[in-house]
């Protein structure tokens, strides 16, 4: 994967997909500073490691989840290297077993391509159909990073700007959960 070694402030000079450009415009409208790194399509958390090196901040794992009836939707943000287990989330949310939302739901609800979900796409959730869920561990870091609708760019902004300015502006308040790390294996 090729990662542009430059870090940019502000939107790209060239025009991109309108959903991506809307994220930059919204952050600019709010006066929120952010840094941007451009790269080849980052399909896995392993791909994101190279981006993390350039941005100097960890990238969150973002998963769009839904209930069996596909009537309730949750955007889960968690540390990128933490394993995801559905039962850990459903138990804390008090809901039925969750599964991954479809690519169509990602585009319809968040304006995001599959594999590119992040909380920045909540600018497209005008009807408030998606509940943001954050692993409490993310509250310990200085920055929040994620893709703006397509995983060919990654944005980084301060955690305080994300929580105190961005989320209230898009009308979302996160539910905090405590997702466990796996138990270390013991030698016998």
pLDDT, averaged in runs of 10, over the chain (188 residues): 87 93 97 94 78 88 93 95 91 90 94 90 95 96 93 94 98 95 71
| pLDDT attached to residue 70 | 93
Our count of domains for the chain comes to: 1
| pLDDT attached to residue 42 | 80
| pLDDT attached to residue 188 | 60
Looking up residue 79, the CATH number of its domain turns out to be 3.90.960.10
Q: Token match 């920055």: residue?
A: 143
CB neighbour list of residue 63: distance below 8 Å, 6 or more residues apart = 75, 76, 78, 84, 100, 117
Q: Is residue 123 part of a domain?
A: yes
Q: Is residue 77 part of a domain?
A: yes
Tokens of 14: 């060239």
| pLDDT attached to residue 81 | 87
Which domain, by its residues, includes 32?
Answer: 8-173
């Amino acid at each position: 994967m090729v990662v542009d070694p430059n870090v940019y402030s502000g939107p790209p000079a060239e025009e991109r997909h309108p959903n991506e450009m809307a994220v930059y415009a919204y952050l600019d409208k709010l006066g929120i500073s952010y840094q941007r790194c451009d790269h080849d399509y980052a399909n896995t958390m392993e791909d994101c490691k190279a981006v993390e090196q350039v941005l100097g901040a960890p990238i969150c794992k973002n998963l769009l989840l839904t209930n069996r009836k596909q009537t309730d939707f949750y955007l889960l943000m968690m540390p990128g290297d933490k394993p995801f287990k559905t039962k850990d989330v459903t138990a804390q949310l008090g809901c039925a077993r969750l599964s991954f939302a479809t690519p169509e739901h990602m585009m319809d609800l968040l304006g995001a391509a599959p594999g590119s979900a992040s909380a920045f796409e909540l600018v497209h959730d005008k009807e408030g159909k998606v509940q943001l869920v954050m692993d409490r561990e993310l509250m310990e870091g200085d920055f929040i990073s994620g893709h703006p609708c397509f995983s060919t760019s990654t944005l980084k902004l301060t955690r305080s700007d994300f929580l105190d300015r961005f989320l209230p502006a898009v009308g979302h308040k996160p539910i905090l959960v405590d997702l466990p790390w796996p138990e270390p294996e013991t030698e016998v």
